[in-house]
């Protein structure tokens, strides 16, 4: 039966799914689209504030209008959501309160006002008020065909506006001052962005609820940011993540009757964000870990090469060294040592001569390069930073691995092609020009 269910779901065989699924998908796409800008402008939590702040507007609209008309409720929601955004901006711009405090304060006092109005309405009685609080927790299952139309039109309008103002919105998201200085109407753009955000949040609440709405703004753009450095790509990826989360959330709640859709959508979006944080190229945990590993390996092998060179420097006639020779000169653990030696042999830097090792011709060049960088840097620290000769070694231990040939040349020049380092050791030349 399970596969039958999935088929139904894919082909929208179930009349319920035919309404709920498109509704949730459009909503997720819309929230993800708007979320890019709130995320880039470091205002992710504004979505949370808005979703709480629309409640008094909804209640007031109901009180004035006397019935649950979606259109009036949305107008009310938009108005109070916008008011909260402006108050937050006003408070933090004028430094009356810090941004986070302003958000927390507006969020909770608007929601408090909303609760007051809601309970006032409930105590007034009246048949039509029932279900007004359903707006708070959201029930994707109760979406109507009208809701889906409203979502779709909203999505189209919002995408249209984002497309029209793409340059302004993009610039604003990265550098508001710069956008202002080259003549963009920043105040208006900010206003439009606030309207779009409030709009997306206000329409979405009835499907996922007040608390979870913020996640639909944050998680997709957080994930998308990790995969791309271009705003355009980021927008497409975030919408895709939003759609995928909407789809998998709906699927889960469809397969397990009684499971709420909204929370599963949020969990899916959160999982997508977490996966991206782990595996995204460059910024993810995995590639950071890989980078660290490869740096550690580089440092290990370079340090070993240096060691070979130093030993050969001390005793001219000694051609091969044993493991103990190496361990005596530098504190290393044995497993690191044998790992490093294996790598060096693989790279043809070190030759294995019956249980002892010596540098190959390439190895000697490489070892000279590292020792040379080390000593150049020591000399530089002494000459230009006036450090004592006994204080320069540790810093050079780190720098020798990262100095590029370019910096090496510059060091050479400003030090005047030096012969000896602060400890009077010879600074080797890679290609001896005797």
Partner 1 sequence: MTLNDFWILATAIVVALVCAIPGTFLVLRRMSMVGDAISHAVLPGIVIAYLISGSRSSVAMLPGAAAAGMFVAVAIEWLQKKLRVRDDAAIGLVYTFLFAVGVILVSAFTAQTDLDQDCVLYGEIAFVPFDLITLSENVLFPRQLLVGTVLLILILLVLIRGFRGLYLSTFDPGYAMSIGVSVAFWHYVLMGMVSFATVVSFESVGAILVVALLSGPAASAALFARSLKSMILMSCAFGSIAAVTGYFAAVWLNVSIAGSIAMFTGIIYFISLLLKRIIHSF
Q: Which of 30, 43, 79, 403 binds partner 1 (CB under 8 A)?
A: 43
Q: Which of 218, 251, 392, 396 binds partner 1 (CB under 8 A)?
A: 218
Q: Which residues of 403-412 are buried (b: 16+ CB within 10 A; e: fewer)?
A: beeeebeebe
Q: What is the dihedral of CA 59, 60, 64, 65, to 10 degrees?
A: -40
> Closer CB to partner 1, residue 268 or residue 382?
268
Q: Is 52 in the site for partner 1 (CB under 8 A)?
A: yes
Taking a C-beta distance cutoff of 8 angstroms, is the pair 210, 55 a contact?
Answer: yes
Angle between helices 285-314 and 261-279 (to 10 degrees): 20
Q: Is 258 in the site for partner 1 (CB under 8 A)?
A: yes
Dist. CA 266–CA 271, nearest whole Å: 9
To which residue do tokens 């929230």 refer? 31
Dist. CA 197–CA 378, nearest whole Å: 56
To which residue do tokens 């189209």 refer? 156
> Closer CB to partner 1, residue 111 or residue 151?
111
Dist. CA 157–CA 164, nearest whole Å: 10
Dist. CA 268–CA 277, nearest whole Å: 14
Which residues in the 11-40 window bind partner 1 by CB under 8 A?
A: 39
Q: Which of 58, 77, 78, 103 binds partner 1 (CB under 8 A)?
A: 103
Q: Which stretch binds partner 1 (CB under 8 A): 92-100, 153-161, 302-310, 390-398?
A: 92-100
Q: Which of 27, 30, 45, 54 binds partner 1 (CB under 8 A)?
A: 45
Q: Is 255 in the site for partner 1 (CB under 8 A)?
A: no
Q: Is 50 in the site for partner 1 (CB under 8 A)?
A: no
Query: In terms of DSSP H, where are the helices of 66-165?
Result: 70-93, 99-124, 134-137, 145-164
Q: Is 112 in the site for partner 1 (CB under 8 A)?
A: yes
Q: Which of 71, 120, 188, 384 binds partner 1 (CB under 8 A)?
A: 120
Taking a C-beta distance cutoff of 8 angstroms, is the pair 38, 197 a contact?
Answer: yes
Residue 330 — φ and ψ, nearest 5°?
-145, 135
Q: Is 259 in the site for partner 1 (CB under 8 A)?
A: yes
**What is the smallest separation between the CB atom of 247 and partner 1, expressed in angstroms?**
16
What single DSSP character describes residue 347? T
Q: Which of 23, 57, 81, 114 binds partner 1 (CB under 8 A)?
A: 114
**What is the smallest separation between the CB atom of 168 and partner 1, expressed in angstroms?**
23
Residue 227 — φ and ψ, nearest 5°?
-95, -15
In three-state secondary structure terms, 426 is strand
Dist. CA 117–CA 124, nearest whole Å: 10
Which residues in the 123-162 window bind partner 1 by CB under 8 A?
A: 123, 136-137
Q: Which of 27, 31, 44, 224 binds partner 1 (CB under 8 A)?
A: 44
Size of residue set near partner 1 by CB under 8 A: 57
Instruction: Provide DSSP, 99-118.
Output: HHHHHHHHHHHHHHHHHHHH
Q: Which of 24, 200, 212, 411 binds partner 1 (CB under 8 A)?
A: 212
Q: Is 62 in the site for partner 1 (CB under 8 A)?
A: no
Q: Which of 31, 73, 205, 222 binds partner 1 (CB under 8 A)?
A: 222
Q: Is 285 in the site for partner 1 (CB under 8 A)?
A: yes
Q: Is 286 in the site for partner 1 (CB under 8 A)?
A: no
Q: Is 211 in the site for partner 1 (CB under 8 A)?
A: yes
What is the contact surface with partner 1 in residues (CB under 8 A)? 39, 42-45, 47-48, 52, 96-98, 100-120, 123, 136-137, 210-212, 214-215, 217-219, 222, 258-260, 262-264, 266-267, 270, 273, 277, 283, 285
């Amino acid at each position: 039966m399970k596969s039958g269910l999935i088929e139904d779901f894919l082909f929208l065989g179930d009349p319920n799914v035919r309404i709920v699924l498109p509704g949730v998908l459009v909503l997720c796409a819309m929230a993800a689209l708007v979320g890019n800008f709130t995320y880039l402008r470091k205002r992710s939590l504004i979505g949370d504030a808005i979703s709480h702040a629309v409640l008094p507007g909804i209640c007031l609209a109901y009180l004035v209008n006397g019935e649950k008309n979606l259109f009036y409720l949305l107008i009310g929601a938009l108005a109070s959501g916008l008011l909260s955004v402006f108050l937050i901006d006003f408070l933090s711009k004028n430094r009356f309160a810090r941004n986070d405090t302003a958000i927390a304060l507006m969020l909770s006092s608007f929601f408090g006002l909303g609760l007051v109005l809601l309970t006032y309405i409930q105590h007034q009685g009246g048949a039509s008020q029932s279900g007004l609080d359903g707006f708070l927790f959201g029930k994707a299952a109760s979406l109507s065909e009208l809701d889906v139309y409203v979502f779709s039109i909203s999505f189209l309008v919002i995408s249209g506006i984002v497309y029209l103002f793409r340059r302004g919105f993009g610039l604003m998201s990265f550098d508001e001052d710069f956008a202002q200085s080259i003549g963009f109407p920043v105040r208006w753009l900010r206003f439009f962005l606030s309207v779009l955000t409030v709009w997306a949040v206000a329409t979405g609440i009835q499907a996922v609820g007040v608390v979870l709405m913020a996640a639909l703004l944050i998680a997709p753009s957080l994930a998308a940011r990790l995969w791309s450095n271009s705003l355009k790509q980021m927008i497409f990826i975030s919408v895709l993540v939003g759609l995928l989360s909407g789809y998998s959330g709906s699927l889960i709640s469809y397969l397990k009757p009684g499971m709420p859709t909204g929370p599963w959508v949020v969990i899916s979006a959160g999982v997508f964000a977490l996966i991206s944080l782990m595996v995204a190229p460059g910024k993810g945990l995995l590639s950071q870990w890989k980078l660290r590993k490869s740096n550690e390996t580089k440092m290990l092998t370079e340090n070993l090469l240096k060691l070979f060179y130093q030993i050969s420097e001390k005793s001219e006639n000694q051609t091969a060294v044993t493991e103990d020779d190496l361990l005596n000169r530098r504190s290393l653990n044995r497993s690191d040592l044998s790992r490093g030696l294996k790598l060096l042999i693989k790279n043809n830097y070190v030759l294995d001569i019956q249980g002892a090792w010596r540098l190959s011709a390439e190895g000697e060049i490489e070892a000279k390069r590292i020792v040379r960088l080390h000593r150049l840097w020591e000399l530089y620290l002494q000459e230009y930073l006036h450090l004592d000769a006994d204080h320069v070694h540790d810093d050079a231990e780190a720098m020798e691995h990262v100095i590029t040939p370019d910096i090496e040349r510059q060091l050479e020049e400003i030090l005047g092609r030096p012969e000896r380092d602060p400890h009077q050791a010879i600074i080797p030349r890679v290609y001896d020009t005797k």
